[in-house]
Structure formats: structure tokens, C-alpha cells
Amino acid sequence: MNHRSYKDSLYQQFARVGKAFASAKRLEMLDLLAQGERPVEAVARETELTIGNASAHLQVLRRARLVDSRKDGQQVYYRLADQDVFRLFRDLESLAKKRLTEVDQITRSYHESPEDLEGISAQELQARLRDNAVILLDVRPQTEYAAGHIPGALSVPPDELQQRLDEFPQNQEIIAYCRGPYCLYATDAVHQLRNAGYRARRLSLGLPDWRASGFPVARQKPVEAHLATTKTLPNTHHKEA
């Protein structure tokens, strides 16, 4: 193989990954799968695609070795191939934020104040959790909480928060987190909490970032997952991943 053939062949393989990333819907799918394994139907529902279109996008990601799949009966489940895929996805987000002013413009068009954009850091949250100084809410869908969450977090899915406000003491700050820096579940939760008179902030990152940083992650045991709809404050019966 001469130099030209070598380079052409090599960069063609690199381009496979670039091609897989060159779709807004596929990027959204990577963000979803960073939360945990999902069947095709769930990916289609979240991304508002037909099952056929969602499956086609997932096949592109699989051929680029960015996701893995398994079959369980008639269901096909997808997951990220490994943490390197997640890190590449976050690096792409970070680069876009640095190079494209449109990212900040779009983000600021939704958030009401600079505080919404800043949030609390993972290091500060860890310290405050050790001191029992905050209540921590995981405001992602309950299935994502069951797959992995910050130890001590209470699962409060987006459609339950308003009905559960009386569970939280008014004299303690509440921190909400969701899927990542651009996820809106936490921002919306903070707005609801502040409107109800609570001191509330969002975590500046999401559960996948917390995991990638080496912080502990807990999962629900099967019995806990079955009883997750019970309206109680966080308990300690979790196992760490």
C-alpha cells in the first residue's frame, strides 16, 4: 500500500465516525443512550420519529461502533458502546459552544436568568451532600433514575413535581439535576420550586457527566424500582455501581 492509499483508507474510517455524528437526531439519541439502555420504541418516542426512522439512525450509529445492541424477544435494545463515545459527544458540545455564538443565543433564549445557566458544581454538591445541607432531586423520567442516579437523590419525574412540593421543607435548599448541561428538566424544576418559595438551583452537569467524572452512582434494586411511585423522601437502600 502506498502513502496515498494508506491515507485515503485511514481517513475514510475516521469519516465513518464523523458521518455518524452528522445528524441532529443521532446526537440526541447518543444523549438519551448516555442515560441508560433503551429499546428502539423508546428512542423513537423520545426523538419524535417513527420506529423505522429511529431504527435506521441507530443502525448508522451501530455501524460506526458508537452503540451496541442486544435482542430480548422481539425488542432490540441499544446502549452506548463505552464511555469514550460519551466523552466525544460532550467534547463536540463543548467545541460547538466555543466556536458557535448561536449555541449561547439559543440557550439564553430559554433560560430566565444567568443563575439558570451557571448552576452548582459537582464538587460543591458533593460537599453539601456530605453535610446534609441540601435536598437533591433527580428530575429525569423514573426509568433513567432506576438505571443510575446520584446516591441520596430523590426521584421526582417532571410530571410529579408540582403535586409533591409539600414533601420538601422550606428551610433547606433544593438542587435539581437531569440529563446534562442542556437538559431542560432541571431548569423547569428550579423555576417551579422558586415560584413556590423554595431556594433552588440546578446542578451544572447531568448524571452521565457525574459518572464520567468518577463520582459514585447508585442503582435501584428491583423491589425499589417496583415501589418507586411511593411518595417518600430519599432512602439509603441503594447499591453503588
Phi, psi of 171 (to 5 degrees): -90, 10
29 near 36, Cβ under 8 Å? no
Q: For Cα atoms 89, 95, 97, give the angle at the middle one, nearest 5 degrees.
A: 105
Phi, psi of 155 (to 5 degrees): -80, 115
How far, in Å, CA of 3 to CA of 135, rounded?
60
State yes or no: is 178 an active-site residue: yes
Pairing of strands 38-39, 200-202: unpaired
| DSSP summary character for residue 142 | H
The residues facing 219 across adjacent strands are 239
How far, in Å, CA of 40 to CA of 142, rounded?
18
Name the active-site residue from 178, 203, 205, 218. 178
Over the range 21-59, which residues count as b (16 or more CB within 10 Å of their CB) and which as e? beeeebbbbbbbbbbbbbbbebbbebbebeeeebbebbe
How far, in Å, CA of 176 to CA of 137, rounded?
5
- Show Cβ contacts of residue 68 under 8 Å, excluding neighbours closer than 6 positions: 62, 78, 79, 80, 81
Catalytic residues: 178
